[in-house]
Amino acid sequence: MNAESPPPLQPNTLGKASLILGIVASTFLVCTGLCAGVGDQQGWLQHVGPVLLVLAGTFAFMGLLSVLLGVGGLFGRNRPKSTAFIGLLLGVITVALFAALVNAAR
């Protein structure tokens, strides 16, 4: 009756990286979108629009990296997959938010 315990879970570094990138990218993209909205209301968006587009594109690329790392973190044995899933979800939200911001700016 000596049952062996399962081996301890190993850290999921891809999932953790995906989660961190997803949090950073989504937070900064929301802030960039809010800044663009305020700039549109106050009339100075046409002066800083290209800079905000470059920033938003950078954060969307970080979100895409978060998606790719999240998918990579979902595969593998003996690793917790929750961080990879949340990072993947945040990355998808970031990319979708970028698409919505670009469509709204037209």
What is the CB-side half-sphere exposure of residue 83 using CA atoms within 13 A? 16
- Distance, in Å, from the CA atom of 85 to the CA atom of 23, rounded to the nearest integer, reads 13
Return the pLDDT at 105: 75
Return the pLDDT at 2: 61
Can you give the residue range of the structural domain that contains 48? 13-105
Task: Indicate whether 67 belongs to any domain.
Answer: yes
Task: Indicate whether 48 belongs to any domain.
Answer: yes
pLDDT tens digits along 13-53: 999 999 999 999 999 999 999 999 999 999 998 999 999 99
pLDDT at 106 over 80: no
- Distance, in Å, from the CA atom of 102 to the CA atom of 106, rounded to the nearest integer, reads 7
Task: Indicate whether 36 belongs to any domain.
Answer: yes
Task: Indicate whether 3 belongs to any domain.
Answer: no
Total domains in the chain come to 1
